[in-house]
């Protein structure tokens, strides 16, 4: 049992290495065969291991591979408990489904084999991250996930935008990792070990300031990885990568690593009030900002990217409010319906022969019925319509925020607004693609092949039913996470009438959002009715403009960091390098030249001056002889 | 008493001769001063029991070398008036500096040894006569190797002198 | 009386140091002459002075130690000095055939 749960981690690695060395030898079929079988095997083993764990009431088990030093305690260690078990299932399951989709999507691509090498490497890194039992192994996984993401984003490396996007992702990630690393150093300094068990148990012994410091630095890492404000701008650009990769990485797994990490350290996190406030505020800013920006995006994948950022914000809000179970639950449900939406978008892109602008689509429901219905399910799920999955998880988050009281009422209201916006832009997204007929000729658009629609159907089913694992009547996820969150004060849902009212309000928000989207984009209310008395053009255009340009935040960041840094470094290059360094080097050489010119004045070439030198030094020698005491024999 | 006279008079002559060599204007005066010095040194050699060497000195130095010098002086340096001012920059300064350092060293030595002249090694009581037999005995046995070398040296010097001074373009030699 | 006479004699005896002092003085005069004079021939004569001072030192050392080797060294120095004079004068003659002045100061070809 102990070794068995390590197998799903290393199987993708072996597959990646195997495919890497044979990537020029294998044709696509063989690669598909190996990778799909490996993914299926990983998932099967993970499922079995998880069931075993469930039967054992989710007691954590761990296994250490390699102990480097004893004090400080540095080792390579893996653990399987409720939290990592959930993530294990999620990652391996989604990996299989998405790889199934990818075999068809990447069919005609010349770098087909490379894709699966990177994909499997990513799965390995992600599993390294979630199955780790100490901060060090988690950091290894953290960094490797960033690397895999870079490899997959800049997959079509000939495109300059793809390469730039890959760089941007990696660099912004790195900024976060810098914070993570400092957090790690403080942890090692304070606790003298990296092990989760030891650190989390002795959290109450450490002063609150240190805890705050540790969590804030680790938080910086989470911001980078999970694309929160201000380190979010890499995620929309990451859409340059292949869509299935985006589905796995930027929807379901890598970006949730930040959330996962924060839940992992929740025994520590709960002691720091400041960190909690920081998390929830940044989460809210991110959610609203991303939701607002998604209103007027035109690229089919960019809408989904901003949606992901927004939903991640939701998870951070949950963590900030102390509802760790809700955060994990939303992570799981979001993984499913976001992967569904991304894969659906991939199917649409594929069928539209790589057209990605949704303004050029419309009325595709006739040509692509399966895709349309599955994406419709995804849209409903994300908008929080019961009994789909999204409703249960989002509602739990909002209710937990409300339950905290005080200033959290305002946070709840803002969260509700974000939920409304979510429904609105997702409704717009679906309607513009599938419903509204813009008069384009789509006769050559066919339904996607079976290997693409089958994963969509599977994910659709999950999106419908997965919500039932953690309703207010059956707290399945809470039971699973019992041992992982031992000692943690979890914010619970309010009881009775409050809960029902809150639920109705959130359903109402979702429904209203969808309705308004329908009215504006399908029913075209602004064209049919003239609102003569109120001139609505200017505010609407303003909203559209600000939304599309993400409140011009990217331009602001660009001018501060990119142009600012360039100017600064140019000044440094001129002043420090040119004046100081070159100046000092030149100074040394000119000084030498001058002194040697002076010194060469002694070389007169005249006998008499040399005689004088003889005399001088002879006398010097004699003087030396006189001064030094010599013993006569 | 006789020793003193035999020492001081040649010593005085030596010093005077040396000063004439250094400070005279006419080159022939210089040469004469040098001759005086050389002869006085030969006299001192005799008082030091180096009779053979004194004779050799008289013959070679005062005879041959000085004749050579006088020949060359006649050839070159007689009629030119030498400028008395120093032409090298800083030379006077350096020379006076060396002089001062010398004086100071001498003064230091004199004062630190409190005007006593203690040599490290004791003088030997018996005197060695510088007879030709003794010199020849040592020269041709213990010092045979340097002897052969300087004979080669003499030949080389002669050949060199002829090679250097030979002027094929010059038709007539003016005196 | 005899002892007093002996002591008086001892006080005024010309010991080796006197000769060494004389040699030193002669050497210094020769050296200063080299530094001061510009005429090549006279510089050569000063060299001869210095050599003779060294010879004097050798002979007095030979008397001091009672060995003949000092005089043999003088022999060699003498011979070498003679050869050197020959060659040196030949050089001076050949140099000063080109330039009519006898000054050494114009020969600064090896100036750095």
Q: How far apart are CA C29 and CA B24, in angstroms?
A: 13
Which residue from A minimizes the CA distance to B97?
A616
pLDDT at res. A250: 76
Interface test with B, best of C21, C63, C95 (most B CBs within 10 A): C63
DSSP string over chain C: -HHHHHHHHHHT---HHHHHHHHHHHHHHHHHHHHH--BHHHHHHHHHHHHHHHHHHHHHHHHHHT-SHHHHHHHHHHHHHHHHHHHHHHHHHHHHHHSS--BSTT--TT--
Which residue from C minimizes the CA distance to A608?
C35
pLDDT at res. B79: 56
Of A612, A619, A633, the CB nearest to B95: A612
- Please report how many Cα atoms fall inside a 13 Å half-sphere around the Cα of residue B12, on the Cβ side: 5
The tens digit of pLDDT for each residue in A58-108 reads 777 778 777 787 777 778 888 888 888 888 888 999 999 999 888 888 887
Residues contacting residue B64 through CB under 8 Å, at least 6 positions apart: C82
pLDDT at res. B84: 60
Chain A residues within 8 A of B95 when measuring between CB atoms: 612
Asked if residue B7 lies in contact with residue C17, where contact means CB atoms within 8 angstroms, the answer is: no
Question: What H or E segment, with its residue span, contains residue A61?
Answer: strand A61-69
Asked if residue A118 lies in contact with residue A146, where contact means CB atoms within 8 angstroms, the answer is: no
Asked if residue C105 lies in contact with residue B87, where contact means CB atoms within 8 angstroms, the answer is: yes
CB contact under 8 A, A632 and B120: yes
Which domains does chain B possess?
A: 1-78 (1.20.120.1200)
Task: State the sign of the Cα–Cα–Cα–Cα dihedral A54, A56, A59, A63.
Answer: negative
Q: How far apart are CA A603 and CA A610, in angstroms?
A: 8
Chain A residues within 8 A of C31 when measuring between CB atoms: 611, 615
* Sequence-ordered alpha helix ranges (H) in A154-239: 160-191, 196-201, 208-225, 234-237
CB contact under 8 A, C110 and A607: no
Domain residue spans of chain C: 2-98
The tens digit of pLDDT for each residue in B60-108 reads 999 999 999 998 888 876 655 556 666 667 778 888 888 888 888 888 8
CB contact under 8 A, A611 and C35: yes
- Three-state SS letters, A496-527: HHHHHHHHHHHHHHHHHHHHHHHHHHHCCHHH
Asked if residue B66 lies in contact with residue B33, where contact means CB atoms within 8 angstroms, the answer is: no
Asked if the C-beta of A3 comes within 8 angstroms of chain C's C-beta atoms, the answer is no
Looking at residues A315-327, what average pLDDT do you find? Answer: 88
CB contact under 8 A, C107 and A611: no
CB contact under 8 A, C89 and B72: yes
**Partners of chain B (3+ Cβ pairs below 8 A):** A, C
In 3D, which of B49, B3, B10 has the Cα closest to residue C62? B49
Inter-chain CB pairs, B–C, below 8 Å: 210
Asked if residue B39 lies in contact with residue C60, where contact means CB atoms within 8 angstroms, the answer is: no
Q: How far apart are CA A612 and CA A63, in angstroms?
A: 87
Q: How far apart are CA A102 and CA A81, in angstroms?
A: 31
Mean pLDDT over each residue of chain A, to the nearest integer: 83
Q: Please compute Rg for chain C using Cα positions.
A: 20
Looking at residues A274-300, what average pLDDT do you find? Answer: 87
Q: How far apart are CA A384 and CA A40, in angstroms?
A: 31
The tens digit of pLDDT for each residue in A27-44 reads 778 888 888 899 999 999
CB contact under 8 A, A616 and B108: no
* Sequence-ordered alpha helix ranges (H) in chain B: 2-23, 27-47, 51-57, 66-72, 91-112, 132-139, 144-165
Q: Please compute Rg for chain B using Cα positions.
A: 22
Asked if the C-beta of A498 comes within 8 angstroms of chain C's C-beta atoms, the answer is no
Classified as helix, coil or strand, A321 is coil
Asked if the C-beta of A406 comes within 8 angstroms of chain B's C-beta atoms, the answer is no
* Residue C84's pLDDT band (cuts 50, 70, 90): very high
CB contact under 8 A, C38 and B65: no
CB contact under 8 A, C105 and A608: yes
**B145-158 in b/e burial notation, b at 16+ Cβ within 10 A?**
ebeeebeebeeebe
The tens digit of pLDDT for each residue in A334-392 reads 988 889 999 888 888 888 877 777 777 777 777 788 888 888 888 888 888 887 888 88
Q: How far apart are CA A367 and CA A374, in angstroms?
A: 14
Q: How far apart are CA B159 and CA A51, in angstroms?
A: 115
Classified as helix, coil or strand, A69 is strand
Task: Report the range of poorest mean pLDDT among A464-468, A569-573, B2-6, C12-16.
Answer: C12-16
pLDDT at res. A434: 82
Q: How far apart are CA B46 and CA B18, in angstroms?
A: 20
Asked if residue A369 lies in contact with residue A124, where contact means CB atoms within 8 angstroms, the answer is: no
Asked if the C-beta of C54 comes within 8 angstroms of chain B's C-beta atoms, the answer is no
DSSP string over A250-309: IIISGGGHHHHHHHHTHHHHTT-HHHHHHHHHHHHHHHHHHHHHHTT--BHHHHHHHHHH
CA angle in degrees (0–180, nearest 5) for A521-A523-A526: 75
Q: Full-prediction pTM beyond 0.90?
A: no
The tens digit of pLDDT for each residue in A492-549 reads 777 777 888 888 888 888 888 888 888 877 777 666 666 655 666 667 777 777 777 7
- Three-state SS letters, B33-66: HHHHHHHHHHHHHHHCCCHHHHHHHHHHHHHHHH
Beta bridge partners of A78: A63, A132
The tens digit of pLDDT for each residue in A431-470 reads 888 876 766 766 667 777 777 888 888 888 888 888 887 7
Q: Please determine, looking at this structure, whether the domain spanning C2-98 carries the CATH number 1.10.287.3510.
A: yes
């Amino acid at each position: 049992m102990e070794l068995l749960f390590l197998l799903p981690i290393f199987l993708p690695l072996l597959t990646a290495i195997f495919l890497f060395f044979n990537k020029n030898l294998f044709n696509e079929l063989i690669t598909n065969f190996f990778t799909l079988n490996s993914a299926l095997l990983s998932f099967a083993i993970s499922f079995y291991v998880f069931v075993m764990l469930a039967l054992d009431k989710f007691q954590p088990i761990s296994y250490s591979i390699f102990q480097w030093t004893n004090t400080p305690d540095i080792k390579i260690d893996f653990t399987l408990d409720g939290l990592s078990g959930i993530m294990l299932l999620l990652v391996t399951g989604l990996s299989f489904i998405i790889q199934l989709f990818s075999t068809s999507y990447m069919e005609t691509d010349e770098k087909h084999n490379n894709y699966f090498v990177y994909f499997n490497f990513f799965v390995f890194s992600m599993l390294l991250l979630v199955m780790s039992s100490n901060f060090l192994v988690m950091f290894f996984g953290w960094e490797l996930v960033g690397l895999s993401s870079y490899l997959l984003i800049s997959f079509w490396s000939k495109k300059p935008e793809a390469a730039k996007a890959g760089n941007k992702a990696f660099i912004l990630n790195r900024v976060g990792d810098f914070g993570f690393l400092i957090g790690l150093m403080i942890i090692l300094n304070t606790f003298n070990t990296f092990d989760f068990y030891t650190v989390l148990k002795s959290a109450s012994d450490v002063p609150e300031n240190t805890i705050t410091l540790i969590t804030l630095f680790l938080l910086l890492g989470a911001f980078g990885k999970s694309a929160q404000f201000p380190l979010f701008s890499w995620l929309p650009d990451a859409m340059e990568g292949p869509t299935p990769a985006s589905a796995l990485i930027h929807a379901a797994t890598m970006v949730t690593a930040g959330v996962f990490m924060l839940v992992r350290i929740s025994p520590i996190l709960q002691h720091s009030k400041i960190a909690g406030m920081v998390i929830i505020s940044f989460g809210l800013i991110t959610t609203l900002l991303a939701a607002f920006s998604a209103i007027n995006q035109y690229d089919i994948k960019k809408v989904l990217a901003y949606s992901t950022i927004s939903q991640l914000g939701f998870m951070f809000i949950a963590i900030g409010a102390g509802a760790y179970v809700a955060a994990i639950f939303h992570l799981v449900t979001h993984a499913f319906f976001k992967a569904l939406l991304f894969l659906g978008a991939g199917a649409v892109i594929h069928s539209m022969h790589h057209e990605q602008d949704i303004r050029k689509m419309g009325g595709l429901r006739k040509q692509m019925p399966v895709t349309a219905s599955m994406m419709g399910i995804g849209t409903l799920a994300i908008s929080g319509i019961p009994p789909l999955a999204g409703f249960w998880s989002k509602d739990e988050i909002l209710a937990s925020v409300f339950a905290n009281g005080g200033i959290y009422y305002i946070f709840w209201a803002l969260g509700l607004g974000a939920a409304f916006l979510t429904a609105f832009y997702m409704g717009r997204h679906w309607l513009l693609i599938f419903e509204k007929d813009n008069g384009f000729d789509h006769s050559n658009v066919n339904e996607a092949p079976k290997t693409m629609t089958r994963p969509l159907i599977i994910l659709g089913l999950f999106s419908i039913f997965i919500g039932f694992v953690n309703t207010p009547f059956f707290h399945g996820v809470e039971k699973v996470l019992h041992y992982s969150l031992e000692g943690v004060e979890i914010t619970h849902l309010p009881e009775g009438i409050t809960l029902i009212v809150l639920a109705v309000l959130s359903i109402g928000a979702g429904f209203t959002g969808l309705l308004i989207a329908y009215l504006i984009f399908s029913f075209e209310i602004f064209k049919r009715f003239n609102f003569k008395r109120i001139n609505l053009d200017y505010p609407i255009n303003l909203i559209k403009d600000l939304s599309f340009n993400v409140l011009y935040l990217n331009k602001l960041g660009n001018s501060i960091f990119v142009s600012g840094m360039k100017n600064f470094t140019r000044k440094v290059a001129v002043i420090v390098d040119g004046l100081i360094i070159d100046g000092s080097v030149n100074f040394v050489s000119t000084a030498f030249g001058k002194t040697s010119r002076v010194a060469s004045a002694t070389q007169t070439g005249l006998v008499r001056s040399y005689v004088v030198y003889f005399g001088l030094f002879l006398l010097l020698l004699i003087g030396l002889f006189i001064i030094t005491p010599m013993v006569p024999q | 008493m006789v020793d003193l006279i035999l020492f001081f008079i040649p010593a005085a002559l030596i010093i005077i001769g040396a000063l004439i060599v250094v400070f005279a204007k006419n080159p022939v005066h210089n040469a004469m001063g040098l001759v005086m010095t050389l002869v006085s040194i030969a006299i001192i050699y005799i008082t030091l029991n180096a009779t053979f060497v004194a004779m050799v000195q008289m013959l070679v130095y005062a005879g041959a070398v000085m004749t050579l010098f006088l020949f060359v002086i006649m050839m070159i340096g007689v009629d030119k008036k030498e400028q008395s001012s120093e032409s090298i920059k800083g030379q006077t300064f350096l020379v006076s500096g060396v002089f001062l350092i010398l004086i100071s060293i001498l003064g230091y030595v004199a004062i630190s040894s409190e005007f006593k002249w203690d040599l490290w090694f004791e003088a030997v009581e018996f005197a060695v006569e510088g007879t030709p037999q003794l010199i020849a005995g040592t020269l041709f046995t213990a010092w045979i190797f340097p002897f052969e070398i300087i004979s080669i040296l003499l030949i080389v010097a002669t050949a060199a002198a002829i090679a250097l001074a030979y002027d094929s373009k010059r038709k007539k030699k003016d005196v | 009386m005899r002892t007093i006479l002996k002591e008086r004699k001892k006080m005024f005896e010309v010991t080796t140091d006197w000769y060494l002092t004389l040699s030193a003085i002669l050497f210094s005069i020769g050296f200063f002459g080299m530094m001061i004079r510009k005429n090549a021939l006279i510089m050569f004569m000063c060299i001869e002075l210095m050599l003779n001072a060294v010879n004097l030192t050798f002979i007095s050392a030979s008397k001091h130690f009672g060995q003949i080797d000092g005089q043999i060294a003088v022999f060699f120095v003498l011979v070498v000095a003679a050869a050197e004079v020959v060659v040196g004068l030949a050089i001076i003659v050949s140099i000063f055939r080109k330039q009519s002045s006898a000054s050494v100061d114009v020969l600064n070809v090896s100036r750095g």
